[in-house]
Homo-oligomer: A and B are copies of this chain.
Amino acid sequence: MKWRTIFSSKTMGGDEEVKVFGMWASPYSRRVELALKLKGIPYEYIEEDLSNKSALLIKHNPVHQKIPVLVHNGKSIPESLVILEYIDETWRNNPILLSQDPYDRAMARFWAKFIDEKILSTTRKVSFTTGKEQEHAIEEVTEQLKLLENEVKGKAYFGGEGIGYVDIVANFLVFWFGNLQEALGINIFSQHKFPFIFEWIQKQLKIDMVDESRIPKDKHLTYIRTRLAAFKSASK
């Protein structure tokens, strides 16, 4: 059997319309923006107020009514991991986010899913629970981070010689998590406890575009503290 061409490539023409509906503190929309920036795809960014979503967001993502949504020439694509694959398959210029090897691709998808469905999801539990329930969530996310730590040990980038799919997905986890635990006054995720994850992410920060894409720390801390205060006053 011959090698197959799986999907067509695109070149950026003047008639391309690329929009991102996002929210500045969301690791999910930040990763979409970073992928577009790394590939050099110009896009229009639309900031959403999540407490008062626009009719346009709901039109583009009627199923989940959530950010991020990528709109490309009138077609809407929701879900950040789905969007990252779409970006990589549509614009085949460097950096190529997913390897050509089916097993490497499977491992990248597996770990991206793990970061979202386990680590980010358990972290949300850590934020919005108290007492025993929070202690349990802290143990759970610590175990999950250990699994990731073990996986990235000794890796420069997750899937190859340069920044790719899992690196982009994990990158925001680190800033976001760091700010969150500072606001919560807990210490789950430190360089001392997870040296390989930190080394891995710090390498990525040497790329200017990655460093410039960090969630602004002070603004993020204020935002998290406001949300945590609202949670505490609601659960009293």
Which residues of A are interface residues toward B (Cβ below 8 A)? 1-11, 63, 72, 75, 77-79, 81-83, 85-86, 89-90, 92-93, 100-103, 105-107, 109-110, 113-114, 147
Q: Which residues of B contact A114 (CB under 8 A)?
A: 63
Contact B3 A110 (CB under 8 A): no
Contact B7 A92 (CB under 8 A): no
Given pairs A8-B100, A8-B102, A77-B103, 16 additional interface contacts (CB within 8 A): A5-B5, A5-B100, A6-B100, A7-B101, A8-B101, A63-B114, A77-B106, A78-B110, A79-B110, A79-B113, A81-B109, A82-B106, A82-B113, A86-B106, A89-B102, A89-B105
**A169 CB → nearest B CB, Å:** 14
Cα-based distance from A92 to B82 in the complex (angstroms) = 22
Chain B residue at minimal CB-CB distance from A104: B7
Contact B63 A86 (CB under 8 A): no
Q: Which residues of B contact A10 (CB under 8 A)?
A: 1
**A10 CB → nearest B CB, Å:** 8
Contact of A109 among B2, B5, B82, B101 (CB under 8 A): B82
Contact of A63 among B2, B4, B7, B147 (CB under 8 A): B147
Cα-based distance from A89 to B107 in the complex (angstroms) = 13
Q: Which residues of B contact A77 (CB under 8 A)?
A: 103, 106-107, 110
Chain B residue at minimal CB-CB distance from A77: B106
Cα-based distance from A202 to B72 in the complex (angstroms) = 34
Q: Which residues of B contact A83 (CB under 8 A)?
A: 106
Cα-based distance from A75 to B1 in the complex (angstroms) = 22
